[in-house]
């Protein structure tokens, strides 16, 4: 039986059930326990809004899972998969989509291979900015695929730059048609970025896909915000659609100031002869140094 970094966290089946976790086997062949499956999420469409974040470290993933975040996305680099694997291991019970690079796949076969690589590391789904043709290839191979519509940053040259999309009737219809193409290709979800809130609410009613809203209001099935925005890891200017619930940056700056201050004091005390002090020294036994000097001098 294949084993991977992911697992059930040592939770017995009965305890997993009591905690509301589902026993699963990943597409990569590893047993595990998850808070949701794709089927669960589909069944929740239109019933309640789920929460989602993208952690950038294992510590953030642990905190998000402990806090009860429903879903996570993780940036996945096929050439350097270690961080994604570490985050997957840190939050073993949360449904997790690996965000795969747009330019990593140039053919349908490559899209399937990258999707399989992500699933082997324990992903429950992949998120991509691929064309419907690539999405269809991965979905046909059994990989749960989430697409991307609205403002797709890496394709923003086609929509006039990094700006809101869907504020004209032509753009609104275009966003809707892009989502319908992903639906027809076999996707199960779509991240919808920076479109009018009222537009997403109407589109979400007209698609079977779960809609993950980032900067697109509360009318989607999932409310998505990056961990660095939730935690305030970076300073202003902040994207308009974000909210900072903490100010980790201020704490990091204070910690850095403490580091600098500590190093400065160390340098000052060494230069002034205050460090090392008597309490930091190993005391030689009585007579040792005299005997050492005598013998060392005799041996030249």
Q: For residues 265 and 117, what is the distance between their CA atoms, to the nearest angstrom?
A: 49
What pLDDT does 172 receive? 98
| CB environment 222-239: b (16+ within 10 A), e (fewer) | bbbbbbbbbbbbeeeeee
Catalytic positions are: 193
Q: Which two tokens mark 105? A: 């796949």
Residue 263 neighbours by CB under 8 Å, 6+ apart: none
pLDDT of residue 164: 96
Judge residue 10's burial from the number of C-beta atoms within 10 Å of its C-beta, 0-12 exposed, 13-18 middle, 19 or more buried: exposed
Task: Return the pLDDT at 4.
Answer: 42
Q: What is the pLDDT of residue 7?
A: 44
Task: Supply the pLDDT for residue 20.
Answer: 87
pLDDT given at position 16: 75
Q: Domains of the chain, with CATH numbers?
A: 13-246 (3.20.20.60), 252-298 (no CATH)
* pLDDT for the residue 10: 61
Distance CA 86, CA 126 (A): 17
Of residues 92, 93, 103, 168, the one with CA closest to residue 130: 103
The reported pLDDT for the residue numbered 28 is 87
Segment (H or E) for 172: helix 169-185
Cβ–Cβ < 8 Å for 75, 60: no
Give the pLDDT of residue 2: 40
For each successive 10 residues of the chain (300 residues), what is the average pLDDT? Answer: 46 73 93 97 97 98 98 97 97 98 96 97 97 98 98 96 97 98 98 98 98 97 98 93 97 98 98 96 96 90
């Amino acid at each position: 039986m294949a084993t991977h970094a992911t697992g059930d966290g040592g939770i017995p089946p009965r305890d997993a059930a009591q905690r509301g976790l589902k026993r699963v086997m990943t597409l990569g062949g590893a047993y595990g326990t998850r808070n949701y499956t794709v089927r669960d999420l589909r069944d929740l469409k239109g019933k309640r809004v789920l929460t989602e974040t993208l952690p950038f470290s294992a510590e953030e993933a642990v905190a998000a899972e402990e806090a009860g975040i429903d879903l996570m996305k993780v940036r996945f680099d096929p050439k350097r998969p270690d961080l994604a694997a570490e985050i997957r291991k840190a939050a073993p019970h949360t449904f997790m989509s690996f965000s795969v690079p747009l330019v990593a796949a140039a053919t349908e076969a490559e899209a399937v291979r990258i999707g399989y690589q992500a699933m082997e590391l324990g992903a429950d789904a992949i998120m991509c900015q691929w064309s419907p043709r690539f999405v269809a290839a991965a979905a046909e191979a059994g990989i749960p695929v989430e697409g991307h519509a609205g403002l797709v940053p890496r394709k923003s040259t086609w929509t006039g730059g990094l700006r809101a999309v869907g504020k004209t009737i032509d753009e609104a219809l275009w966003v809707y048609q892009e989502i319908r193409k992903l639906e027809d290709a076999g996707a199960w979800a779509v991240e919808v970025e920076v479109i009018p809130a009222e537009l997403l609410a109407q589109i979400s009613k007209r698609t079977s896909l779960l809609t993950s809203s980032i900067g697109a209001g509360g009318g989607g099935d999932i409310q998505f915000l990056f961990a660095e925005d939730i935690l305030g890891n970076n300073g202003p200017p902040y994207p308009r659609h974000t909210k900072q619930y903490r100010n980790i940056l201020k704490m990091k700056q204070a910690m850095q100031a403490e580091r600098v201050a500590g190093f400065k004091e160390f340098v000052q005390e060494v230069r002034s002869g205050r460090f090392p002090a008597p309490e930091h020294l190993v005391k030689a036994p009585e007579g040792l140094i005299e005997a050492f000097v005598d013998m060392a001098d005799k041996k030249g």
